[in-house]
A and B are shown apart, each in its own frame.
Chain A
């Protein structure tokens, strides 16, 4: 097997909130073309781990390396410009701006056209065209001109994911993308994730509570428990481990046999 390049790595990543170690020495390597699902019970440190990687939190110790570059200390916006995109667990939009404006902001951030406000209208049209494409991909055309706050929850989740897609990052981080969605709505989001997965240059990290939802998509599962990495491997192998069945599925080890 030829070694695939590493796109993202965390080394002994640790954060200590005044005595409570939320993420404890997590070392993990992520590669392009791989969709890793991060699972664990509530309070296991999944979202904190994500916040460390995308820069909303600064680790107490340990390092984060993206494609050979140490990004441990750079700002969230610099990480975004370096190709790391993140969708949030709690919907995190620009409520008063329209759906299209929300998406255009994500396109614009990535294209770096922000401050050049006297640019020719034609380059704005290019921005608008790309925003429309992402709007269509997320099937949000019919609500393009509504303020984001006016959307029903399911569509807000779609918009949240659409913003991440519009950033066109090379590392995608989804934090419970289907949170609060009905069984009917969730597949629409997962289709978007599956679409990204077709491009093997992309690295995908996905936090998910409901394992059954993403089992079909996962290439690999890592399990966090009390801030520590307790299992890492192919989905079937990981889900079969007694410790995982016990802590994650709540099945006592003996009865699982």
Chain B
């Protein structure tokens, strides 16, 4: 008999894991204090986008990384939430009731659609399922553009949000009745809007972590690893797949609602386009599928690259102005080229994604 007693029990906390947790914690803290650390409008926009997209990418990871479901309809559910909130805020005025009603409508639509797509097509092969979701997402984009009376078509919808989030709102006032400044930052509606985005995103991410750590999470991984054996153990694989597809859809719709509140604008380019779908896919792959923390790292890295790579290149180009050739290579117009090179390097050095590769190293051999 093989003697394995000599093998020491594997420590479950490896250096790689600590690095991943450290990175995620650092990103979390940066987001928590973002309004105080980065006071300009553009930085706050980036911070809010990172919050919302962490939830969106993490809920996509629940599908693709944990359960092995490939869907291209994730932005469709994101869009349903956003459009639900947007249409209600536009039609009923900027009230909390409108937001709640519109949001609920979007979530219900997401549940119904996810259920229908799930039960009708999760029994078929993965590639067919992916095609069905692609078709559904395309139909949704056509509908959003055709029913322009409701959705604003290609122009989208501009609306106002509840008074709490108006820049003029005084969240805290000093003795003179003026907006109180904390560390030089006005406690106005913009702060309220950011923390609305941050706290809901934090809660949803925690919820996703809780799901993957639960017995349900292990069942999802089992389905990904060996569907036939999961079925043989007594798990209704199709029911689990459908359930997780619905859970991911609801979380994406909630992220959409939050995004709609932050942007005060909802249109095909902000919530429905396939560019966003590709972004989410890249974020999850680069961060590391099936890790949840990978979504945090992938979203932060990609968002920062998308927003700031041009700036960095501009600085680099002017710094190297006297050197031949280099300034041309670093011309800000070539930022997409460098982004592409960055992705290739990341995939090469982190084949299982950043979090995935790090967590494997120094852990279980």
User: Which positions in A face B, CB cutoff 8 Å?
Assistant: 54, 56, 75-77, 80-81, 86, 88, 92-97, 101, 104-106, 108-110, 113-118, 124, 127, 142-147, 150, 152, 154-155, 163, 167, 184-185, 188
Evaluate contact between A114 and B235: CB separation under 8 angstroms: yes
A101-B218, A124-B215 are contacts. A92–B229 as well, Cβ < 8 Å? yes
Chain A residue nearest in CB terms to B233: A109
Chain B interface size, under 10 / 10 to 19 / 20 to 34 / 35 or more: 20 to 34
Evaluate contact between B234 and A96: CB separation under 8 angstroms: no
Evaluate contact between B4 and A75: CB separation under 8 angstroms: no
Chain A residue nearest in CB terms to B239: A115
Evaluate contact between A76 and B231: CB separation under 8 angstroms: yes
Evaluate contact between B234 and A115: CB separation under 8 angstroms: no
A142-B7, A145-B9, A146-B364 are contacts. A104–B232 as well, Cβ < 8 Å? no
> What's the dominant secondary structure at chain B's contact region?
helix
Evaluate contact between A109 and B364: CB separation under 8 angstroms: no
Among the listed A86, A114, A142, A184, which residue makes an inter-chain contact with B232, where contact means beta carbons less than 8 Å apart?
A86
Chain A hits for B229, CB < 8 A: 88, 92-94
Chain B hits for A113, CB < 8 A: 215
User: Which positions in B face A, CB cutoff 8 Å?
Assistant: 1-2, 4-5, 7, 9-10, 12, 210-211, 214-219, 221-222, 225-226, 228-237, 240, 243, 364-365
A96 to B226, CA, bound (A): 10
B92 to chain A, nearest CB (A): 33
Evaluate contact between B231 and A75: CB separation under 8 angstroms: yes
Chain A residue nearest in CB terms to B8: A142
Q: List 9 A-B contacts (CB under 8 A).
A: A86-B232, A94-B225, A114-B240, A117-B211, A117-B215, A142-B5, A152-B2, A155-B2, A163-B233
Chain A residue nearest in CB terms to B290: A96
Chain A residue nearest in CB terms to B229: A92
Evaluate contact between B236 and A77: CB separation under 8 angstroms: yes
Chain B hits for A97, CB < 8 A: 218, 221-222, 225
